[in-house]
Amino acid sequence: MSQNQINSWASRATDKRDAKLATQIGWAYFNRNEFSSAGIWFNQALEWNSQSGDAAYGLALSKFREGDLSSAEAIANYRAGSYPKLKTLQGDIYSRRGTEAYESRNYAQSLEYFTNASKSRSLSRNERIIVAWDLYYLKQYEASAQAFEKLYRASADDISAQGLYASLSKLRAYDKLDTLANQLGGPLKKVYLTYDARRYYEAHLYNASADAGGTRIYPILQNINSPSVAGGVRFHSKSGSEGEGQLQSVAIPIQGQIYPANKFILSAYASYLYLTSGSLPEGAQFGKVPETFQRYSNPTNTRENLFEFAVRLEYQDWLSWYITLGTTPLGGPLASWPVGNAGLIWRDNKGYIQGELYSKSIKESITSYVGSEDPYTGDTWGRVTETGVNLSVFRGLPGDNTIFLKGGIGSVNGTNVEDNIHVYGTIALAHVWRPQGYEYVTLGVSGSAEGFENNQNHFTYGNGGYFSPEYLIQGLVQAQFLTEEGKNWIAAGSVAAGVQNNEQAASPFFPLDDDGRSFGSQNSTTPIGLIQVQGAYLIDPNWMIGASFSFAVTADYNEGSANLWLRYFFEQRRGLFRTDLLGFDNY
């Protein structure tokens, strides 16, 4: 309509105070998108006829198009009962407010507006999608899954597929997701094909995630399965009587790692080892101590040119397994002995259950680790290993809490050493925070208890030279942290403090041939503490440097260690994960 014709109508409407013609002028301006002028004439029509529903609707709609939602809402609320189109406009106003609230991430307010809109008119598909995402972000995952499923059944598009996948994943309803993906197909099927990789990633099974196509979703996983070689140096020191329980060691380990098939990890390890406990003082209760004083033939307790070897094969999935085969150090006074472990780990997104069979060296003294020679007779004894079974359970609890349980039993044996039985158990509770830049920060308490059938914490012939109390009870308060994964550096650590009580039973000088002499019992209650820090840095995409430090004050001794290692990746890495902190810890 031309402006001249509108002017003609305006003259006639004014002369006759014609509300109907004024309303027509308002719509003419509205159709020209001149909403301000339209509003003026709709308002004029209402002055001449306050009962005109069409003029009220036009005025409210003009205010709505201008963005004056408050005025439009006031008119609609006042007139909605007498003019149906205003009822629909009410829904449009609520919808506009709901969309604005959603864009501002005020999901609760957005959901309320759209609920009101649905009382005025039916919601469009786009509006129902926003409502479904409101429910998702408000953690009402069951309701959001139902909403997205209805949307997807009505029209299978990418947006509803992503929402349905996200909601069912939060509910961990993977069986239902599997059923719907196969039943309904379309974009949901494509999203579903990557769900294994997502679940693996969320459970920190990064190698499995990469093998399941996770690099398409998480580019940071690129080349996480790169073959690598590593070498380093390790220093360790343990307090104790010189020549007996005291132990200093230097290790120079090397390790190679490959991924021979999907989800498999194969690695081999070798290490040079130097051990010393210093020189025995005269009169030490070591070896076959005679009843009358005699000088030693060789008072120094040092072992050089020792070597350790191990190979490990691991399969990583929801049901993982691993097996490690190795030996006690070669080159000691006693022949080496097989050691290793084999275990099963069942995982889900809330934790894991792990069962393990193991045989390990007792590395508390030269006697227990590789064996000693009697300074009086030259006889050899020691090289103690523990062979046993344990079970561990770690679960997430409501309210960002966790529980850890572990228990086990082992048979402790050596050469010319009395056999022993070791039982142990631990329970730990912690609360988890996830501040920005960290995977977790925890604070919790733990309690543990262990005991041995007999006391082998001596160095006369037939004793194993390892801490073996009749009972040991500990209570700790502990904090732990892990920085964000996928960056070019990563760090983890823990600090703990507490108290312990232990009873060391009386035991004969020579358990295998008692001559009547014996060591007395001991009981003590002492404070304990530990600190441990690990870190790694990706120098460039192929080179990583790692380091760790630990120190512990325990029941019978103090010990500390420092490690430094360098790893070369044959394919370029984009970031580091918690598994890169392990260094040589699996051996």
Domain residue ranges of the chain, discontinuous segments joined by +:
3-202, 226-581
User: At 26, which amino acid appears?
Assistant: G
pLDDT digits (tens, 9 = 90+) for 507-549: 999 999 998 889 999 999 999 999 999 999 999 999 999 999 9
Nearest to 183 by CA among 171, 196, 192, 173: 192
pTM: 0.70
In degrees, rounded to 5, the angle at the alpha carbon of residue 483 between the alpha carbons of residues 317 and 476 is 90
pLDDT digits (tens, 9 = 90+) for 294-351: 776 666 688 999 999 999 999 999 999 999 999 999 999 999 999 999 999 999 878 9
Q: How far apart are CA 450 and CA 496, in angstroms?
A: 19
DSSP-derived pairing of the beta strands 459-460 and 286-287: parallel
- Which fold would CATH assign to domain 226-581? Porin (2.40.160)
Q: What's the rounded mean pLDDT across residues 264-281?
A: 93
Nearest to 465 by CA among 334, 275, 291, 285: 285
Q: What's the rounded mean pLDDT across residues 402-411?
A: 98
Q: How far apart are CA 24 and CA 191, in angstroms?
A: 53
Q: How far apart are CA 479 and CA 493, in angstroms?
A: 8
Q: 94 and 114 in contact (C-beta within 8 Å)?
A: yes
Counting beta carbons within 10 angstroms of the beta carbon of residue 357, is it exposed (0 to 12), middle (13 to 18) or buried (19 or more)?
A: middle
Determine what percent of the chain is predicted with pLDDT higher than 90.
61
pLDDT digits (tens, 9 = 90+) for 15-50: 788 888 888 878 888 888 888 888 888 878 878 887
pLDDT digits (tens, 9 = 90+) for 491-516: 999 999 999 999 999 999 999 999 88
The larger pLDDT score, comparing residue 233 to residue 50, is at 233
- φ/ψ (deg, to 5) at 584: -115, 25
Q: How far is CA 257 from the centre of its chain?
A: 23
DSSP letter (8 states) at residue 330: B
pLDDT digits (tens, 9 = 90+) for 134-169: 999 999 999 999 999 999 999 999 899 989 988 988
Could you tell me the CA-to-CA distances from 79 to 50, 215, 482 in Å, in that order?
A: 11, 58, 60
Is 382 a residue whose pLDDT tops 80?
Answer: yes
What integer best gives the mean pLDDT of the chain? 90
- φ/ψ (deg, to 5) at 344: -120, 140
Residues ≥6 apart with Cβ < 8 Å to 314: 264, 265, 266, 320, 321, 322, 323
- φ/ψ (deg, to 5) at 2: -75, 160
Query: Cα dihedral angle (573, 578, 583, 584), rounded to 10 degrees?
Result: -130
Q: Return the H-helix or E-strand segment holding 505.
A: none
Say yes or no: do domains 3-202 and 226-581 share a fold: no
Q: 441 and 481 in contact (C-beta within 8 Å)?
A: yes
Report the Cα–Cα distance between both ends of the chain, in Å, rounded. 88
Q: Return the H-helix or E-strand segment holding 115.
A: helix 107-120
Among 103-107, 226-230, 414-418, 568-572, the range scoring the smallest mean pLDDT is: 103-107
Q: 301 and 279 in contact (C-beta within 8 Å)?
A: yes
For residue 276, the model assigns a pLDDT of: 94
Question: Which tokens in the block code for residue 74?
Answer: 């006031």
Q: How far apart are CA 97 and CA 106, in angstroms?
A: 11
Beta-bridge mates of residue 251: 234, 273
pLDDT digits (tens, 9 = 90+) for 176-188: 888 898 888 888 8
Q: 511 and 464 in contact (C-beta within 8 Å)?
A: no
What pLDDT band is residue 90 in, cutting at 50, 70 and 90? confident
Q: How far apart are CA 302 and CA 286, in angstroms?
A: 14
Nearest to 468 by CA among 561, 364, 389: 364
390-411: burial string, b at 16+ Cβ within 10 Å, e else: bebbbeeeeeeebebebebebe
Query: Cα dihedral angle (192, 196, 197, 199), rounded to 10 degrees?
Result: 110
Q: Is 263 left (phi over 0), alpha (psi -120 to 50) or beta?
A: left
| Residues recorded for the chain | 587
For residue 82, the model assigns a pLDDT of: 65
Nearest to 220 by CA among 542, 515, 578, 485: 485
What pLDDT band is residue 211 in, cutting at 50, 70 and 90? confident
Nearest to 282 by CA among 333, 238, 243, 247: 243
Q: How far apart are CA 60 and CA 32, in angstroms?
A: 17
DSSP letter (8 states) at residue 329: P
Q: Does domain 3-202 sit in CATH 1.25.40.10?
A: yes
Q: How far apart are CA 301 and CA 216, in angstroms?
A: 57
Is 80 a residue whose pLDDT tops 70?
Answer: no
Is 574 a residue whose pLDDT tops 80?
Answer: yes
Beta-bridge mates of residue 546: 536, 565
Question: Which tokens in the block code for residue 363?
Answer: 């590395």
